Amino acid sequence: MAKNQEKVVSIFIIFIMVTTIFFPIRDQYIKKNIYYTTFSLPTLLTWGLIFYLGFIGKVAKEKSKFMWVYLGILALYLGTDIFFNFFYHHYYWELFHKAAAFLLLPILWYMLPEGFFERNKVLPILLGIIVFSCIVSIILYYIGIDRILFGKASLIPQIVRHGEATTYWDKRLTFTYPHKSEYGVFLVLYTGLCLKFKDSFKKKFLCYGSVFIMVFTAYLTNSVATLVCVAVVIVGYILSRLPWKRLQLKYKISLAVVSLVMAGLLAAYGYHYVAAKRDLESMGSRFPIWKASIAAILDNPAGIGMNFNKLVIWDVVTNCHNVFLVEMLRYSIPVGILLIVLFLTMILRSFWKYFTFSAAIWVGLLGMLCIDYSLKEFDFPMVMICLFLLFFMKEEKEKQGNIETRRKRNAANSQEKQIDRDLLCSCN
């Protein structure tokens, strides 16, 4: 890939993030109390990136069992989705969004050369956009703005202030996302990105300041689940950075005991904090909602398609408060199961490196996905870009080689110094 082609790809990736965060322009079909998303600008840009890479790129000759398994499951998922859409739902815009998102992973995996993100300085730009967006959302919150909505493919957003009839009864920061839980999904991923690529910040305090901004933003969303899941990512990162391998067994045991005590204290504080806001016996009414959702899914194994928002599942609730259950109810049981398998495949592959930190990110992300309808189809492309950066990006081998060379050089110098000391002692 030539330098100018790499620049074009970099611009595509940056524009996908910018439009997802600041200008999520979408169009909706609304008729007879049925509404669903059709066109989405970030998804259109994602397709543009896919076709551009497919046109100019060369597939890397790399044998990857994971990618073959992933592509096989993805083919089953999309094929099953097409089948149920053709015979039952007739809602093909969903495929427009999800196919672009899930195809993005193998396209980036095979087409992007090693060191692409470092060489083109994409990571500092992406992290800067993320932090800047959180700062903007905080400022908007304190001047009384709850949400900024881009609907009906309009370039002019609708400003929703605290307490207006079109917003919720409580103050909650949602920024340009339709719901606070959707903002929470991205805050979990953004926190992971800031911690993993901390070296992309010029100063360490900028990295830790950015993480603090993520935590504070999560607090302003008024979502206990978001705050807890962001905290899980941070704790997982801290545990992964502890020098376990260099410590003697007794120090490892001591450190493990201290970590467990600290985790217990944080868990106790979190329990009391959450109990003051939610009914923990029913997980904020999640248990009865999930039970009713499973019953509705079994009654409609082929899915209910565009009638999704018309069916009252429990009390006045019209969604399953769980992304995977929503997938089963809306698009059929087989489609929902294959989505779970697709996520499990990515999870198993990502545990090969940085187990503790990777596990914390996945726990935080799955916590958000399983507690609410927190991921719409038009958000999938940006989520897949974040997952690619966190778990599947090819790091620059030159840097790794330099580090290894430096280690060998230091070891050789240490050995030479030891020989000199031994000779000096023998002469004395």
- Average of pLDDT values for 385-400? 77
**pTM, rounded to two decimals:** 0.86
- Coil, strand or helix at 127: helix
Output 28 or 126, whichever has higher pLDDT: 126
CB-count burial class (<10 Å; 0-12, 13-18, 19+) for 47: middle
Q: What percent of the chain has pLDDT over 90?
A: 47
Instruction: Write out the two tokens for 184.
Output: 């929470």
What percentage of the chain has pLDDT greater than the value 70?
78
Q: Do residues 346 and 70 lie in contact, with contact meaning Cβ atoms separated by under 8 Å?
A: yes
Q: Interior CA angle at 161 toward 156 and 163, to 5°? A: 145
Q: What is the mean pLDDT of the chain?
A: 83
* Whether residue 34 has pLDDT greater than 50: yes
| Poorest-pLDDT segment among 112-121, 141-150, 169-178, 262-271 | 262-271
Give all strands (DSSP E) within 244-397, no chain letters.
Answer: none
Rounded to 10 degrees, what is the CA torsion of 124, 50, 383, 121?
Answer: -10
- Residue 311's CB is within 10 A of a number of other CB atoms, namely 15
Q: Token digits for 290?
A: 């999930």
> pLDDT confidence of 405, banded at 50, 70, 90?
very low
Q: In this structure, are residues 37 and 91 in contact, taking their beta carbons and an 8 Å threshold? A: no
* Across 150-163, average pLDDT: 74
Cα–Cα distance between 332 and 305 in angstroms, integer? 8
Answer whether 194's CB lies under 8 Å from 234's CB. no
Distance in Å from the first CA to the final CA of the chain: 62
Supply φ then ψ for residue 412, to 5 degrees: -65, -40
pLDDT of residue 3: 85
Q: What residue type is 366 in one-letter code?
A: L
CA distances from 41 to 7, 88, 196, 353, 377 (A): 21, 27, 28, 34, 13
Q: Report d(CA 111, CA 384) in Å as an integer.
A: 16
Q: What is the pLDDT of residue 398?
A: 42
Calculate mean pLDDT across residues 288-311.
Answer: 90
Q: At how many degrees (to 10) do helices 355-371 and 180-196 cross?
A: 170
278-296 pLDDT, tens digit per residue, is: 665 666 688 899 999 999 9
Task: Identify the top-confidence range among 206-220, 281-295, 300-314.
Answer: 206-220
Range picked from 61-75, 204-218, 396-410 for highest mean pLDDT: 204-218
Compute the average pLDDT of residues 43-61: 85
- CA atoms in the 13 A half-sphere facing the CB of 201: 20
The DSSP symbol for 169 reads S
Strand partners, 337: none
Give the per-residue pLDDT at 399.
46
Tell me 87's DSSP state.
Answer: I
Closest CA to 185 of 407, 335, 374: 374
What is the structure's pLDDT at 289? 92
When mean pLDDT is compared across 222-231, 259-268, 341-350, the lowest value belongs to: 259-268
Q: How do residues 61-88 score in pLDDT, each as one tens digit?
A: 667 888 999 999 999 999 999 999 999 9
Q: Which residue has the higher pLDDT, 305 or 251?
A: 305
Query: Highest mean pLDDT range out of 7-11, 284-288, 411-415?
Result: 7-11
The pLDDT-based confidence of 397 (bands split at 50, 70, 90) is: low
pLDDT of residue 403: 43
**On the CB side of 246, how many CA atoms lie within 13 Å of its CA?**
3
Assess whether pLDDT exceeds 70 at residue 31: no
DSSP state for residue 395 in the 8-state scheme: P
Model pLDDT for residues 83-109, shown as the tens digit of each residue? 999 999 888 888 999 999 999 999 999
Judge residue 2's burial from the number of C-beta atoms within 10 Å of its C-beta, 0-12 exposed, 13-18 middle, 19 or more buried. Answer: exposed
pLDDT > 60? residue 56: yes
Query: pLDDT band for position 135 (50/70/90)?
Result: very high
Half-sphere exposure of 325 (CA within 13 A, CB side): 25
Identify whether the C-beta of residue 358 lies closer than 8 Å to the C-beta of residue 351.
Answer: yes
Residue 48 has pLDDT above 70, yes or no: yes
